[in-house]
Structures are given as C-alpha cells and as structure tokens.
C-alpha cells in the first residue's frame, strides 16, 4: 500500500465514520442533544449548568403553534447530520393542557383541526394501537413545518442523517414524529433513504402497549433511545390502566363461560362474581379517564382551537414506555446535589440532572 493511500485513509476514514449515524446509546451524542434541547428554554432555569452546544449550529426555529409547540433545526456540516429538536412543556397553562388531554385515539386516522385543515396520520400498523390525543395534536402542528424543512435540507444540502431529540413533552412528540416520518416515507412524501435516530429524554409514555410494540419494531436494533432518571416521576405518566380487554387475542380472560363449563351452579355463580369484581373496576377507571382527561379537557382545548372537532376515543388506557431504556441511577452524591424538594416537583426532571448523571455514569 502506498504512502499516499495510507494518508488518504488516515484523513478521510474518520470523516466517513462520522458521516453515518450509528444505532445504540452514545453518551457524547446524547449530551450534545441535551445541550441543543436546553436552548429551547428561553427563560432561565435555577441552578442549571447545562453548557451550550459544541458541534451543531441552529439554522431554523419554527413558529409557535396554538398549543405552544415549537421545534428547531440544527446541523453539523462536517458529518452532514441534522437534528430536529422539539421543545417540551412551557410554563403556560395551554401547554399543560396538551399533556392533560390524555385520552387515547386510534393510531391511524384523521383529525379535523379546523374547517379547512385535516391531519391524516398512520402511526402504527396494529389495529389495537392507540396514542395520546394531546400530543397527536402537537404533532399535527409541528409536522406542517418539519416535513418541508427536512425535505428542503435533503434536496439542497444532501442531508440524510437526522436525529430527532425531545425532552419531557418534547420526547413524547419525538416518538410520534418518528412513527409519522416512517409512514410519510411509504407515501413518497419524505425521502426513503433517510437514516433516522431518536433520543427521547425524560420521556412520558406516548401510547398503549400495541403502539409500543410497533414503535419498538420500527426502531429495532437501537435506533430509538429512551433516557430516564430513576428519580424522575414524569416517565411514569400518563396513568396506565390495564383491563382484561387489553390482552392479545386469543387469551383465557375474554370469557368466563368456557372456564366454568361443566361446573356446578354454585361454582359458576361464585367464579363469575369474582371475575366481575376483577373486570369492572379497571373498565370504570378507563371511562373516568375518558370523561375527565378526554371530554372535559377537550372543552378547554376548544377555546384555543375553536374549530377542532372532538375525535372518537379508543377504548383503553394501557400507556406503555417505548424505546431502548437507558437508566440514569442516582447515587448518594447525586442525592446531595439534587435533594428532594416538595416545592419543586421537577427537581429531577430538568436538563441539568440528566446531564450531570449522564456525565457521571457514561461519559469517558
């Protein structure tokens, strides 16, 4: 091998390796994503020490939507990698309404946003898959600018590597956006040769078990990472309610009649009584969830989106986490630095605790 060829290898192979996104958790990559995401927060956060981005430059910030959703586009020209950074919940009440609008809707369908705007979506193939309606509304707004900006960057600059990043509510939207882009690719509306990696930081649960199955299959091999601080309560939300109807079919829980066939009348009455005592409470809980976090919150959403038509909600509430889990485990040093504070329920949820633990546990 000539000396000239060796020099070329030394100079260009590292750049070629950088140019292709790789699956799996990369601590340095995630830390940069946190640095990017932190820039979405306009107001100061007390005691936050998250530094500014090192390797990426912001080239676009979207308008703010009716529910205060916003995203930014960052690029690294050397590696030809772009980041879609989605903002999380703000301090405004209307932004929190998006979180509280927590009834589920089928993962395939259409939302009528106003008299002239309909949002068609296909976020999973499983017929029982369902997602959070509030965050689906957020996706409908964000996609109006994300899709054209992504396509423009692909066509004009040749970018094929995209990272989707979101923290908190932004993470929930990142899940749905990844699913949405996959469907748009099948429709020819987004380039088919994109390489997409997703980081969901401090992520709530975006949909039910069947949506999680579909998402995890779509991103199999380590292309979607869910980073959770074990002291953070937000990834445990929304409330998850499992009913006997949520089991995959066939299952032994659908009908009690087969189980008691041939038994005495007394055994049948007793077993059916126990069965109904187990079956009915979670069904009532699902109905209450639809009533208070569906129909009731919709009335407040309608004040912001007066022409938005209330959708038909899915019959379930089995919210489930998605993505490859990366757990940040607090130790004694962390507990001293970030003590529990009943007056600040987000003490373990913000950027700096996640950044601190990632550096401590993973960064070299």
CA angle, 322 as apex, 317 and 325 as ends, to 5°? 135
What is the residue-averaged pLDDT of the chain? 91
Q: What is the pLDDT of residue 252?
A: 78
> How would residue 266 be classed by pLDDT, with cut points 50, 70 and 90?
low
Examine residue 278 and state whether it is found in any structural domain, yes or no: yes
Alpha-helical runs (H) found in 117-243: 133-157, 169-186, 209-218
The DSSP result for 66-132, as a single string, is: TT---EEEEEETTTTEEEEEE----SSHHHHHHHH---EEESEEEEEEETTEEEEEE--SSTT-EEE
Residue 149 lies in a domain: yes
Tell me the three state secondary structure of residue 356. Answer: helix
**Predicted pLDDT at 10:** 37
What value does the mean pLDDT take over residues 107-136? 97
Per-residue pLDDT tens digits for 31-66: 999 999 999 986 667 789 999 999 999 999 999 999
Q: What is the mean pLDDT of residues 94-110?
A: 98
Is the Cβ–Cβ distance between 162 and 71 less than 8 Å?
no
User: Does any domain span residue 238?
Assistant: yes
Q: Would residue 289 count as lying in a domain?
A: yes
Helix or strand or coil: residue 189?
coil
Q: Per the domain annotation, does 4 fall within a domain?
A: no
Q: Which residue has the tokens 């004040």?
A: 303
243 with 286: CB under 8 angstroms?
yes
* Domain coverage including residue 153: 9-39+47-361
Domain membership of residue 133 (yes or no) is yes
The confidence score (pLDDT) of residue 258 equals: 64
Q: Is residue 2 part of a domain?
A: no
Give the pLDDT confidence score for residue 268 in this predicted structure.
64
Predicted model pTM? 0.92
Task: Report how many domains make up the chain.
Answer: 1
DSSP 226-286: EEEETT-SGGG-S--B--GGGSPSS-TTS-STTTTTTS-HHHHHHHHHHHHHHHHHHHHHH
- Encoded tokens for 183: 């469907």
Contact 123, 131 (CB under 8 A): yes
Residue among 245, 307, 285 at smallest CA distance from 115: 307
Q: Residue 321: give its domain's CATH number.
A: 3.40.50.1820
**Predicted local distance difference test score (pLDDT) of residue 7:** 39
Q: Is pLDDT at 118 greater than 90 in this prediction?
A: yes
The verdict on residue 3 lying in a domain is no
Report the candidate in 228, 168, 238, 167 with the shortest Cα–Cα distance to residue 205: 238
């Amino acid at each position: 091998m000539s000396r000239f060829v060796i020099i070329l290898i030394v100079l260009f192979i590292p750049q070629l390796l950088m140019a292709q996104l790789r699956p799996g958790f990369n601590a340095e990559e995630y830390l940069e994503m946190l640095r990017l995401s932190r820039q979405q927060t306009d107001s100061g956060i007390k005691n936050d020490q998250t530094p500014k981005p090192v390797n990426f430059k912001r080239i676009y910030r979207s308008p703010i939507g009716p529910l205060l959703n916003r995203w930014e586009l960052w690029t690294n020209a050397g590696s030809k990698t772009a980041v879609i950074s989605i903002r999380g919940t703000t301090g405004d009440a209307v932004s929190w309404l998006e979180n509280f609008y927590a009834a589920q809707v089928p993962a395939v369908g259409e939302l009528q946003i106003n008299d002239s705007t309909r949002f068609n979506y296909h976020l999973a193939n499983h017929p029982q898959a369902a997602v959070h309606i509030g965050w689906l509304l957020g996706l409908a707004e964000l996609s109006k600018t994300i899709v054209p900006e992504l396509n423009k960057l692909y066509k004009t600059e040749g970018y094929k590597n995209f990272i989707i990043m979101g923290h908190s509510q932004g993470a929930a939207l990142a899940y749905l956006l990844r699913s949405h882009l996959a469907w748009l690719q099948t429709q020819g509306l987004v380039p088919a040769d994109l390489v997409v990696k997703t980081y969901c930081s401090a992520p709530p649960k975006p949909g039910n078990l069947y949506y999680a199955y579909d998402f995890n299959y779509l991103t199999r091999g380590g292309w979607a990472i869910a980073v959770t601080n074990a002291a953070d309560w937000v990834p445990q939300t929304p409330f998850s309610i499992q009913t006997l109807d949520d089991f995959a079919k066939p299952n032994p829980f659908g009908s009690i009649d087969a189980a008691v066939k041939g038994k005495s009348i007394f055994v049948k009455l007793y077993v059916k009584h126990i069965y109904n005592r187990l079956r009915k409470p979670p069904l009532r809980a699902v109905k209450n969830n639809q009533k208070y976090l569906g129909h009731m919150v919709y009335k407040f959403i309608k004040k912001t989106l007066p022409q938005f038509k209330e959708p038909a909600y899915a019959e379930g509430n089995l919210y489930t986490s998605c993505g490859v889990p990366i757990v940040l485990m607090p130790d004694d040093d962390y507990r001293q630095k970030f003590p529990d504070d009943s007056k600040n329920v987000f003490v373990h949820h913000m950027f700096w605790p996640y950044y601190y633990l990632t550096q401590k546990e993973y960064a070299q």
